[in-house]
Structure 1
Amino acid sequence: MGAFPQTIHFIGTNTPRQQEYRLENLEVEGEIPSAVEGTFFRAVPDNAHEPMFENDIALNHDGMISAFSFKGGKVDFAIRYVETERYLAEKEAGRALFGRYRNPFTDDPSVKGKDRTVANTTPVWHGGRLFMTKEDGRGYEVNPHTLETEGRWDYEGKLKSETFTAHPRIDPETGEMFFFGYEAGGLCTLDVAYCIADKDGNLVKEQWFDQPYCSTIHDFVITENYAIFPIFPTLADLDRIKEGGAHWAHHQDLPSYLGIMPRYGDVSEMKWIEGPIGVSCFHEVNAFEEGDTVHVDLCLTDTNAFQFMREAGGIDIPQQEIQGALTRWSVDMTADTLAIEERPLGPPGDLCRVEDAVQGRPYDRAWYLSMNPDAKGPPMLGGPVGANFNALLRINPNTGQLSMMETPPGAAISEPAHVVDPAEGHGGWLLTTIDIPNGPPGAGDPSDYSSELWIVEADAIEKGPVAKIRTGKALRSQVHGTWVSHAKLDASVRKG
């Protein structure tokens, strides 16, 4: 193309930055809590080259990994591209060679058969290793000290699935990582690989099953006894892809499903339960058992939140008209006929977080992003849906009690990470990046903003930040992030 398109996927916080750099001893306003010692890793999509097609989307952009490193009250920052096979091929050519999102039929012939993943969605820490992941391929290992790419990770040749989820779940008591890959056998297959890695990062189990239709299984959840796969009617179609079309198209007339199996069991024990028609969800908050009942809490909307996935399905619903809620799906596992009972828990939103210690267990607090109904000025442009979130919510799902942290007018907020405070026990801190316009909100250049990292008391978010770390830069939109303590970094497989 020779230039970046001026669509929502390339303006605002989606503006290409294309910079690798390191900053030392960032400016700090306030006091960094003593418990915040370690590194906050963030996944950042950012094109290394202009795209081949005008209608390219943010999900298709090269992965970068950034790191805010805390030590002794000082903060450093670094960001580097993940050197995937795709990134290296395009770097050598000096231009884009891979075409539309998850459509190899639109690629330059020179890269036929090469790994297409951009590893741009989630940093995952397990077994002393750091991985950058995206669900359309296997993860890439990254050195947590230098951010250098070590290579594609397949559990030393043991992993058969061609894909690896960006949302594995780690059991807080056993240390095991439960994960999956959909389209595990190739493009548009129904295959899903369900896998378990032990606490040391060894793959100990992989088994495959078919889902009811070829859907985007972005996330899943575990409880102490179950693995649970919520799927929604955003479907892939091989004929459409071969014709150069979109990988995903939402179907408003098809049901959702909940697949539930014993987490250490056989996939033949999977039970599929039909859910509401046309709904969508990208992220589940948590799941847990209450007697014989399994609860799944999820960020549910009445249609797919991504406009390009709705348009591919012929659905004309304006973004501002989409309805949703933080929602609980409950299933009595002893019932003669398994069914989903649904009830709302809280306001709509996404990019949710619970503390690691309650993964798959009953919990009494969670955090997620939403829109402040009393915000002054329009939201900041960017992110995969075109408008960024501008508020952080804390919810007690048992009582519905809510609190909110506001952001400056016109600012954007990214998914938080939770840091345990050993001195407080059940408390801790949240780390979240805030993008603040340099001019009046909604006026001027939407790419002109400054990014800060805020540290917030996890149980008193309404008080605002106790510390702000200023980068002096405009950081590109983050997808997901993860916190890794100094103790874990010191014991990592890779050394600095």
Structure 2
Amino acid sequence: MHDPSAPADNQTSLVPRRPRFPDSIHFQGLNTPIGIEASRACLPVIGVLPEGLEGTFFRAVPDPAHPPMFADDNILSGDGMISAFRFHDGVVDFDIRYVRTARYEAENNAQRALFGGYRNPYTDDASVAGIDRTVANTTPVWHAGRLYMTKEDGRPYVIAPDTLDTQGSWSYDGALRSETVTAHARVDPETGEMFLFGYEAAGPCSLDVSYAVVDAQGQLVREQWFQQPYHGMIHDFAITQTHAVFPFFPTTTDLARLQAGGPKWAHEQNLECRIGIMPRSGDVSGIRWFTGPKGASAFHIMNAHDEGDLVHLDLFISETNAFGFMREAGGIHVDQRAIRGAFERWTFDMASDREDFAVTVLGPPGDMPRIRDADCGRAYGKGWYLTMNPQGGPPLPGGPVGAAFNALVRIELPHGRIDLMPLPPGHAISEPVHVPATQPGGSEWLLCVVDRAAEDGSFKSEVWVLDANKLVEGPIARVQVPLPLRAQVHGCWVPADQLP
């Protein structure tokens, strides 16, 4: 770990810098660029940390190191930052570092933005032609003793878990053919295998999708390609014990539009979503395609599991794309507050030749779900996700939709109890990570970053430690962070006994 008494390269003060960024929601509120790398030991704690809470909470945020080339850029283009909250011996240490991607290094050397519009290489400065564009800003993934920072538009970057130093782009020693890897890998809790996909596997706007399996030792053992039904977005996917599930939604890309300098994604409200399901250990030629509702959109999946010939997929659906800049590019102008959605279960009968499926509402709308790692691909009894509490006052500005979540849900499945932990007005909550019980009958925990608006217009950040099954009790400990933390995308928990 870095010496916490020594400042990081640009750490003369833990006060955010204020260069001129665009005047839009993507650079304001909780989306305000911070640009600070830092290390601090023994953060102040309000309350008492649980005994035996030993490990590291890694989290990913996009944080642009330089103002963008275009004023209509969005939060998803920000350079990847990885932070680590290290829980050990009753204290918490903190590190945050940029991911030194090829893109970051090129712009750092030039001291200005060189890459143009969001995921549009045709708008880049000529000097960076052919340089890897990914910012690796979406999800930290831990598997087989390696820590990766991922974003679905490129290959992952390997990060040293103890120092957060960037060790380079990763292609499984050259075995991976796909140019892209999902930010939502799935790891089987019994076999230790990691399942990956990558859309646009052969380059921007290609229909090629890679489906790959990595064994428990971290070796790529299988990669197959198939064609998606149209140039649609697939941000997340799922596995069961016997199947892999690929949901495609009608937020589409177009090569001619990109070449003309247009947006990467535009939502098509009159286009149906498509779901491909295949034997997870089989051949991609065995994919069966199902057809879903027109215009439906989802970014994240809670889980999936088998029940005889049935495959259940639990996901967070909205009637149109929740990201304003994506739906407006498709000519859809709807107030964010008017968009309807729900937590739903889509059930596919693999013994039938029908292309439709059954839909069951499981809970209120929300997103950013979390389950126990041990439940991945299995029938499961509970999960957690974020939602909006309409009685919590105006939400803090932040995230890709411009409004941050202000409540946490615990739900028992399929139709059980729902517990809600609303936050006080002026607070926002990021996706939790789950910490399993360390002994039979012991408590399991959730860790999540909570931001609070201060009177001077700034934001204060804390890590809350919650009893995963007693949300109503609120945090049992609050770890205070010495700088504001930009809106998180995803995180992961790695127990201390798995770390070097």
| Corresponding position of 1:383 | 399
Q: Which amino acid aligns with 2:425?
A: P
Contact 1:279-1:303 at 8 Å conserved across structures: yes
Find the aligned partners of 1:138 and 1:28 in 2 and give their Cα distance: 37
1:7-22 alignment runs, 5 A limit: 7-22=24-39
How far the C-alpha of 1:6 sits from its partner, in A, is: 1.6
Write the distance in 2 (CA, Å) between the matches of 1:399 and 1:458. Answer: 19
Instruction: Confirm or deny that 1:230 pairs with 2:247.
Output: yes
Residues 387 and 179 of structure 1: CA distance in aligned 2, closer, same or farther (over 3 Å): same
Q: CA deviation at 1:34?
A: 2.0
The answer for the alignment partner of 1:314 in structure 2 is 331
User: Partners of 1:472 and 1:335 in 2: how far apart?
Assistant: 57
DSSP 3-state at the match of 1:22: strand
In 2: Cα distance, 1:139 partner to 1:489 partner:
19
Q: What TM-score comes out, normalization by structure 1 length?
A: 0.96
Is 2:424 the counterpart of 1:414?
no
Cα distance between partner residues in 2 of 1:42 and 1:394: 21
Choose from 145, 156, 181 the match for 1:139: 156
Pick aligned residue for 1:398 from 395, 398, 414 = 414
Q: Is the 8 A contact 1:35 1:419 kept in 2?
A: no
Give distance in 2, aligned partners of 1:453 and 1:486: 18
Partner residue of 2:300?
283
1:322-471 alignment to 2 at 5 Å? Answer: 322-375=339-392, 377-425=393-441, 427-439=443-455, 445=457, 448-471=458-481
Task: Write the distance in 1 (CA, Å) between the matches of 2:469 and 2:442.
Answer: 9
Question: Which AA in structure 2 matches 1:469?
Answer: V
Gaps of 5+ in 1: 491-496
2:285 paired residue number = 268
C-alpha distance in 2 between matches for 1:426 and 1:273? 42
Task: Find the counterpart in structure 2 of residue 61 from structure 1.
Answer: 78
**Deviations 1:124-181, CA, capped at 9 Å, x for gaps:** 0001000000000000000000000000000000000000000000000000000100
Q: Deviations over 1:63-102 (max 9, x none)?
A: 0000000110100111000000000000000100000010
CA distance in 2, matches of 1:399, 1:35: 33
Match of 1:494 in 2: none
In the TM superposition, what whole-angstrom CA distance separates every residue of 1:311-365 from its partner, at most 9, and x where no partner exists? 1100011111110000000011111324211111100000000000000000010
Q: Say if 2:235 is the partner of 1:218.
A: yes
Please say which of residues 187-196 and 395-404 is displaced more in the overlay.
395-404
One-letter amino acid matched to 1:198 = D
Aligned partner of 2:109 in structure 1 is 92
Partner of 1:493: none
Of stretches 430-439 and 399-408 in structure 1, the one that deviates more from structure 2 is 399-408
| Residue from 127, 133, 136 that aligns with 1:119 | 136
Does the alignment pair 1:48 with 2:58? no
Offset of residue 400 of structure 1: 3.5
Normalising by structure 2, we get a TM-score of 0.95
Offset at residue 399 of structure 1 (A): 2.2
- What is the number of residues matched between the two proteins? 482
Counterpart Cα distance in 2 of 1:483 and 1:27? 21
1:465 match: secondary structure: coil
Moved more, 91-100 or 400-409: 400-409
SS of corresponding position for 2:230? coil
Which residue in the other structure is 2:46 paired with?
Answer: 29
SS, match of residue 257 in structure 1: strand
- Give the match's secondary structure for 1:181: strand
Counterpart CA distance in 2 for 1:425 and 1:291 is 31
Distance 2:23 2:355 in 1: 48
Matched, 1:257 2:274: yes
What is the CA-CA distance between 1:3 and the residue it aligns to?
A: 1.9
Which among 238, 248, 253 is matched to residue 265 of structure 2? 248
CA distance in 2, matches of 1:330, 1:255: 17
Q: CA deviation at 1:424?
A: 4.1
